[in-house]
Amino acid sequence: MAKPLRMGVLGAGSIGLRGALAHLSIGDYAQSVVLGAVCDTVPGRAAAAAEKFGVPQAFEDYDEMLANGDIDAITVGTPIGMHYDQGVKAIEAGKHVHFNKTMTTTVAEADDLIRRAEAKGIKLVASPGEMLRPHNKRIRQLIQDGKLGQLIWAATGAGFGDYHEHERVREGNDVLSNIDPSWYWRKPGGGPLYDMTVYGLHTLTGILGPAQRVTAVSGTAIKEREFKGNMVPTGCDDNTLILVDFGNALFAFVYGTASGTLTPFARPTFFGTKGSITDKKLNNQPIDYPGREKAEALNDSALLPHVTGQHEKMEEAHVYEDIMQLVDLVREGTPTISTPEHARHVIDIIESGYRAAETGTAQDLTTTFTPAPGA
C-alpha cells in the first residue's frame, strides 16, 4: 500500500483507550497507519474519545462505521464474547482485523473467521503476541538446546483478584473514566482464562509448541462482585485448574483463578532434569537476551519492534505492537508471530478445559499451529 492504513477502533473501553487510541494518536508511524474512526455503543463515549485523541470520525453504531467509516482495518477491543460476530462483519465488509485477546471463545468461531478471511483475502492478527518478546525467544532456544536437560513439566496462569474493579478508567465520573467491567464476570468470554491466563498460554505454547489433550476442574468461587456500590452476579467460571498434555510425558499445570498466583504473569515456569527456568532466570541466574538492560530499566514491552520513543513508557504497549503487526502484514506482507492459528490453539485449550471439567473426561485437542519465522 502506498497510503497509510486507516484504522478503525472498535470499543473505546479500557483497551481501546489505553492500547489503541493513546498509542496510534502519537502519529510517529503516520506514514504506515492513521486513526480513521472510533466506535462505541455507550452514548457519547466515541465522540469524547474522538475529541481527546483527534480521530476524524466517531460512531455509536458498528454497522454504520463499517458502511461509512473511512477505514481499511479494525482493531477489536470489545468484550471477548462479541469478537466473533464483530469479526465476521468486518471481514465481510472487506476490513482487515486485529483481535485483542482472546480472538473468540470457541474453536468453531475461530475456524469460521479464518476460513472467511482466507476466502476474501483479508488479513487477521490476534493478540497477545508474547513470542515477539526477546526473552521468550531466548527461553525457547535454551530449552531446545537442552539447557534444562529433559523437560519434565511447566506451569503458568493468573488470578483475577480485584484488578478490573480498580483500573483508572473505571474510577471516574465522565464517560471515558466510568467504564463498567461487569462483562469480565459473565459468559461468553468472561473469566480469568480468556482474560488473563491467555497470556501465559500463548507463551507456553509458543515455547513448547502445540499441546495434545487436557483435563480440568472448574467452578465459580466468588458468586458476586462489587462495582461502584452495585453487586454483580458472577455468571462464569472464575476458578479453573487445567492439566495440559504435550505428549511424551511432558505436562503443564495451567490455572485461571479467582485469586492468587504461583507463577509470574505471562511467564511460565519450566522444570527439567537439569534445573528450572523461572521469571527469566535459568537455575537462579539471569538469562541474557538482546536488550536485557533496557528491559530491566523500562519494561519488557520496550523491546517490542515498534515500541520506541513515547511508547516505551506507556500502558498496553503490547496491544499497540500487535496492531502494528497487522499494519506491516497488510502494507508490506511481513509475516507475524501473532497468528490467528496460534490464537485458535490457545482457545482450544481453554474451551476443551471447560468441557473436560463439565464432563469429567479428558479432551483431545483438535487444533495445531506452526510457529512463524523468528519465533
Of 261, 217, 215, nearest to 364 (Cα)?
215
pLDDT at position 117, please? Answer: 98
Confidence of residue 54 (pLDDT cuts 50, 70, 90): very high
* Residues 122-136, mean pLDDT to the nearest whole number: 98
**How confident is the model at residue 372, as a pLDDT?**
59
Cell representation of residue 49? 474519545
140-152 tens-digit pLDDT: 999 999 999 999 9
Specify the DSSP class assigned to residue 197: I
H/E run at residue 140: helix 134-144
- For 340-358, letters b (16+ CB in 10 Å) and e give bbbbbbbbbbbbbbbebbe
Q: Would you say 68 and 60 are in contact if contact means Cβ atoms under 8 Å apart?
A: no
Burial 50-75 (b: 16+ CB within 10 A, else e): beebebebbbeebeebbeebebbbbb
User: Model-level pTM greater than 0.95?
Assistant: yes
| DSSP β-bridge partners for residue 99 | 76, 126
Q: What is the DSSP letter of 235?
A: B
pLDDT at 375 over 70: no
**Measured distance CA(361)–CA(129) in Å, rounded:** 31
Whether residue 123 is predicted with pLDDT greater than 70 in this model: the reply is: yes
> Residue 106 — pLDDT band, cuts 50, 70, 90?
very high
Q: Is the pLDDT of residue 188 over 60?
A: yes
Each residue of 336-367: pLDDT tens digit? 999 999 999 999 999 999 999 999 999 999 99
Strands 269-272 and 275-278: antiparallel
Domains in the chain with CATH codes: 5-126 (3.40.50.720), 130-301+337-364 (3.30.360.10)
Does pLDDT of 2 surpass 90?
no
The pLDDT of residue 268 is above 80: yes
Q: What number is the average pLDDT over the span 67-87?
A: 98
Q: For residue 371, what pLDDT is reported? A: 77
User: Sign (positive/negative) of CA torsion 328, 331, 332, 334?
Assistant: positive
pLDDT number for residue 9: 98
Mean pLDDT of all residues in the chain?
Answer: 97
Instruction: Average the pLDDT over 81-99 and give the result.
Output: 98
Cα distance between residue 9 and residue 296, in whole Å: 31
